[in-house]
Structure 1
């Protein structure tokens, strides 16, 4: 009896420590998860939510316990990992107004491609957080050296079975196996798919990660060619009339320059500075150009989302799982504006003063059809920086060097860097000029500094727009210039406290675009608000290229869908049945276009055009594509 009692106490002692640590881990998760999140007191009323939020960390700790046989070590590592996830989410929430989401983990692979420098700028400047992390790591190492094993090494296969089971559970959870939806059930826990921030505020960051990971688990999107064909039949007369009207633009083939200006918008939409003119060149040029506001698919970051829409004419609204398109593109040949221009004899060049590998642009630009990619190493040595990154003036110089008066027409797509965040740094700038910039009252000194730094660089972008437009007007060759912002800058505190003159939120704000015909020999300017995916169709028609039915269709139906924004935390429903039908039909058409299966459905709209070889060495896909169906 004494022996059994001693044995029972031994087992109880071994079980008690991990159980106590597990309870502590659950409470720790709830206590830490206060940004953006749940008040600690709220967890007491929803224990199942608290457990669900802690479960992935508990599984990790259990697996480590089986492997190491040491409870303090195992839970110490799990505590550290959980804390790191919540800290990164808090940084993202502060800068972008959105918590950590599953797609963000794709960024890990970009750290080697210039991402470490770019994203590292958002980390805390104070040494205290890093000292705290080092202290925790040192404590874990110390514990690992002195903590005795909780149980024997040999367990007659029980450790192996337990380890494999835990590894399988963690693997299926990370992979988003649909069975886990029973645990993270949106009906039981609640879910706000339209707002990741609100969801994290109610369910916690970890549960939000799991729910968004499982949101489309097991669901495969398939295009419906029959519905697409039905929609094309319904819009047949309108589409043909539009293409016939566009064909009246018979002009000399112009060079085309597109500027994607980093974080460019007009700060005068912020309350308190609405009477300031921060973009005089934009406003002056817009008086005699096609211009308006642009609905973009991202906020504060995710440049390639807007970039993808502009280059392909495909709305990411119809591809909800494609958060970072260049990292998820599968096709060797991606349809879009670049390939249409190549089919019309254009040489296509991309220009970007940053690492070519970041966002996987090197591979993505090959798929999109660019002939050359001029990146940071290709710029002249000693090129000037303004702030942390290459000055917009250097980009203007490089654009002009790429344009020739003789030879084939050129398409130059340039992506600026100067106005990239974070905006709390003040290197390589004129602080006197920066400090004279007016800002709203009622925001903190840190927010004022960030806003001033942003406006300082944004005004340089505006000045370079004016300089580039003047240089293009001096050329003999006709040139089109399209300039637009990719998204609003991440100035969350300013937006929250000052607000916008239109009363809308930061996630539903638009950015400006302007399409300038440097020689005024194309169609008359038109003022209209657009979505980013509508820009390429508009640009091609201005250039006299009117034989791609898909891009023509975006112009026919675009105005009806332009206001359906698709920023991370803003999902609007269609306002009426006709809009809903158009939206659903365009989704089918976009999916067919992406898979290059749309061409048979639109072949009857093709206008006669000489077939031009558009495949370059090393590309896959057909060797020739007609101008009407290029890249489909």
Structure 2
């Protein structure tokens, strides 16, 4: 009896020691995330249930590996290493882009060197080293106490490890996951924007929640008859929306200008000239307004996918990387580019960097592009390049990029084909180091709020925006001299998350938001900082579908249909649905949505939408489920015109 009690006591001591390791890991992760031990302590006290659940996760991992190796300190070392690595990666990502690590970011794990390359120099901060020292001390304590933390015989360890692994799978990813989450006060039902989820639950539980607890739910009554009824109801609501005749076949140059926005919208800055002079001039000749984006500071490839497929992360299961789904999914439904290819256009992607990121070499051919040209292929074209083609680092200059767009358009036209070109410029990409453009800035900027070091960083953004605007002017001036009808659709994918020397951003310094965490912002601040600018311009005013000078906001849900409309492309049932919804809902993401009058809401449930809009959203949800998670009963119908 005494021996049995002794064994139970030792086992309990081992479990408590493993839980202590988990507590150290959970606390250290918040220390790294929040920047101070006191802030981490306050978080743990404010939300004890997620803190304890995080400790259980890492403590269980340490115990499992300790049982496998026979020494708890080995499990503690592995558990501490994983927790510190995750926290540091998330912290670095927040520094680079203002957003924490998400499950979909793991899709880029094989391209980490490229991601770090475009981010600039990164160093581990002192407070992170202090947190890591705490973890190291925990491992050392487990090693010193190894005599008392005995793990039993090999057979016993194997039996216990097997049982622990089975429990871990059941409660981590299996049927026990939801009850476990509920037991620790985790919302297991609703989609939550990652920054908010991680604020409430911490990084580990937030990642686990997205990866294991939420899924796209099957519509009630789902089946072939149900989807036939969905298609029939869409026809009733959409009417003849897809019957756009193809009259003139204009060239379409669709440009994603990296981090472009109208910097004159920032308060408390004195500029010696207008950095968006051409944008403002051309806006009086075309259609322009705000472009509501799904990201701030990063996410270019994800934004591209949303525009071309009509999907956002909110449509997919949480944690899905929209750029790294099964290959076949990218060609199930027609993209924005598909009708151009079907109408005999030369469809090409031109990108001012290399092909290493966002899986573009796989996805873009399936989205309807005949040819992909990256930096090296562009430089092999017959261009008038004076000096180095690069500017601000390792990206092609926007000046060279404009020449490439014109070159490819002229080549297609010479073969008797109109051109559909999607260009991704990069000269204004981060990092915004003061020396990026050789400390040169064409426009002077001053401020009573920013000191000289912060102004030096701001000048880099200002110069990049100025060059992007000048390239837009060069392109449109060249198109005025050409007889071929051409439409230009130009937009910024997201604002740069411009960090100042103290870790704040230019936006927080200028009073546009409180801190860097969007979880603390008002809905109006989110809508403002998640918006850039766009322009639709044509060298023949008759090609515009509105009066010159029209101001009309748009977003990732609306700009794709606008491109189809600009060239009178026929719409499939899917894109007719997208176009109809985009007239009233410019963007709808996990973070926020915006209606056509520019009013932002936290979610579509609270938005001022008509009953018909809400019905369309429900029908669209059924279509997305069927195509990407169901039996694909409606794929063929969604690729046909309305009423067919």
1:379/1:600 Cα in 2 relative to 1: closer, same or farther (>3 Å)? closer
Tell me, yes or no, if the aligned pair for 1:70 and 1:148 is still in contact at 8 Å.
Answer: no
1:421 and 2:430 correspond: yes
**Which residue matches 1:438?**
445
By how many angstroms is 1:55 displaced? 1.9
| Count of matched residue positions in the alignment of Structure 1 and Structure 2 | 592
1:260 and 2:231 correspond: no
- Matches of 1:600 and 1:46, distance apart in 2: 49
Deviations 1:572-629 (A, max 9, x none): 42324333223222333455677583543685647xxxxxxxxxxxxxxxxxxxxxx9
1:391/1:135 Cα in 2 relative to 1: closer, same or farther (>3 Å)? farther
Which deviates further from its counterpart, 501-510 or 387-396? 501-510
Q: Secondary structure at the match of 2:298?
A: coil
Q: Secondary structure at the match of 2:421?
A: strand
Select the residue among 525, 533, 540 that pairs with 2:564: 540
Q: Secondary structure at the match of 1:390?
A: coil
**Which residue matches 1:393?**
399
1:366/1:564 Cα in 2 relative to 1: closer, same or farther (>3 Å)? closer
Select the residue among 557, 573, 583 that pairs with 2:581: 557
**Which residue matches 1:201?**
199
1:575 and 2:604 correspond: no
Tell me, yes or no, if the aligned pair for 2:193 and 2:591 is still in contact at 8 Å.
Answer: no
1:347 and 2:356 correspond: no
1:504 and 2:505 correspond: no
1:315/1:15 Cα in 2 relative to 1: closer, same or farther (>3 Å)? closer
- Matches of 2:308 and 2:111, distance apart in 1: 21
Tell me, yes or no, if the aligned pair for 2:256 and 2:423 is still in contact at 8 Å.
Answer: yes
Tell me, yes or no, if the aligned pair for 1:89 and 1:99 is still in contact at 8 Å.
Answer: yes
TM-score by length of 1: 0.81
Tell me, yes or no, if the aligned pair for 2:18 and 2:60 is still in contact at 8 Å.
Answer: no
1:270 and 2:266 correspond: yes
Deviations 1:382-437 (A, max 9, x none): 632323533222222222221224112221111122222232x2444131427x64
1:45/1:524 Cα in 2 relative to 1: closer, same or farther (>3 Å)? closer
**Which residue matches 1:490?**
497
**Which residue matches 1:515?**
536
Select the residue among 440, 443, 453 that pairs with 2:460: 453
- Matches of 1:549 and 1:49, distance apart in 2: 45
Tell me, yes or no, if the aligned pair for 1:329 and 1:364 is still in contact at 8 Å.
Answer: no
1:212 and 2:213 correspond: no
Deviations 1:125-170 (A, max 9, x none): 7799689979988997999899789647843x22222223334445
Deviations 1:360-402 (A, max 9, x none): 1111012112111111332327632323533222222222221
**Which residue matches 2:385?**
none
**Which residue matches 1:303?**
300
TM-score by length of 2: 0.80
**Which residue matches 1:177?**
174
1:211/1:556 Cα in 2 relative to 1: closer, same or farther (>3 Å)? closer
**Which residue matches 2:481?**
474
By how many angstroms is 1:49 displaced? 3.0
- Matches of 1:544 and 1:519, distance apart in 2: 15
- Matches of 1:572 and 1:35, distance apart in 2: 34
By how many angstroms is 1:35 displaced? 5.8
Query: Which residues of structure 2 form unaligned runs of 5+?
Result: 381-387, 499-503, 514-521, 594-601
Which deviates further from its counterpart, 468-477 or 278-287? 468-477
- Matches of 1:27 and 1:134, distance apart in 2: 11
Select the residue among 23, 26, 40 that pairs with 2:23: 26
Q: Compute the RMSD of aligned alpha carbons.
A: 4.0
